[in-house]
A = this chain, B = another copy of it.
């Protein structure tokens, strides 16, 4: 089959590889309904993470189970499933505490930018729908696997509540999903920081009430202006740079919470500064599995449409162009079809 392999910075190729096989009794093989490119795939693509060997790309997935290992009990061939990009047993103490992304057996999904993929820890990871979903729901179901689940976690970690004010730093796909999540959680005011018209429009569609196009100190000043000098109770940091993190911290009110889900690259915090700013920080790879059944229901019941975040659709053969378009910010997020 054809699959996506990253050979080095800027060098991603669609290549012939062998089809995945059951390697452990807890594995499942799925036939993907669609796949996509994640903002975090751009870190190695841009050379921010070292690439020492060819990487099998893709960790967002949904599709139909075609085979399961002998130990798999909860899903069976023919079922439509979604799984988190973090594979987890869903039974260890960390999973039971709601932090499946720190599962004792955690692995990260790979190889999902391909028509078939192996999903380890299938029982803990995969969630099946009751029926085969309609075709037009596929992009939104795919989004629950990571991008929506990650934006949701940012809002959850930032303590978004009914009637609260949330600031979203970052207008990438995750930031836009953070806006959607904050809206679903009942935030009254959702301030999206974005300088790009198409992303601003999508943020407004997903529920943003205000757009701030300034950055850095000017951006923080604008947030303060919009919040009567106070700052926001909840800030979603969806980028991962020092600049975005500083902006996020400065945008929160004392006692406010920052949920950070952009993988930090070159970010440090000064202890004394954090102490006197008196703001709460929680980040990490999102425990999507915690939210997955709920998010899938919202999609199947057509209450949310996160699939709108895909603004470029390509056949798998053109995956390189998909990466390029996202790298150049011509596309927010690329959907791959087989």
Cα-based distance from A265 to B253 in the complex (angstroms): 23
Among A250-286, those with CB < 8 Å from B are 253-255, 260, 263-272, 274-285
Is A245 touching B271 in the complex (CB atoms < 8 A)?
Answer: yes
A277 to B260, CA, bound (A): 13
Q: Which of A94, A270, A282, A287 has the most CB of B within 10 A?
A: A282
Known: A268-B271, A269-B271, A272-B265. A280 touches B278 (CB 8 A): no
A97 proximal to B (CB < 8 A): yes
Contact of A284 among B102, B157, B277 (CB under 8 A): B277
Q: Name the B residues within 8 Å of A94 (CB-CB).
A: 230, 253-255
Which single residue of chain B is at the shortest CB-CB distance from A103?
B254
Contact flag A275-B254 (CB < 8 Å), given A93-B230, A230-B93, A280-B281: no
Decide if the interface of chain A is mainly helix, strand, loop or mixed.
mixed
Whether A285 contacts B274 by the Cβ 8 Å rule is: no
- List residues of chain B with CB within 8 A of the CB of A268: 268-271
Chain B residues with CB below 8 A from A93, complex form: 228-230, 253
Taking a contact as CB atoms closer than 8 A, the residue among B270, B275, B281 that contacts A274 in the complex is B281
A98 at interface by CB-CB < 8 Å: yes
Q: Given A278-B99, A280-B281, A263–B272 Cβ distance below 8 Å?
A: yes
Determine whether the beta carbon of B254 is less than 8 Å from that of A97.
yes
Q: How far is the CB of A246 from chain B (nearest CB, A)?
A: 11
- Residue A101 contacts which of B99, B230, B278 (CB distance < 8 angstroms)? B278
Partner of A272, one of B157, B267, B276: B267
Contact B285 A254 (CB under 8 A): no
14 contacts between A and B (CB under 8 A): A93-B228, A93-B230, A97-B254, A97-B255, A101-B278, A102-B255, A255-B287, A263-B275, A264-B271, A275-B283, A275-B285, A278-B282, A278-B285, A280-B282
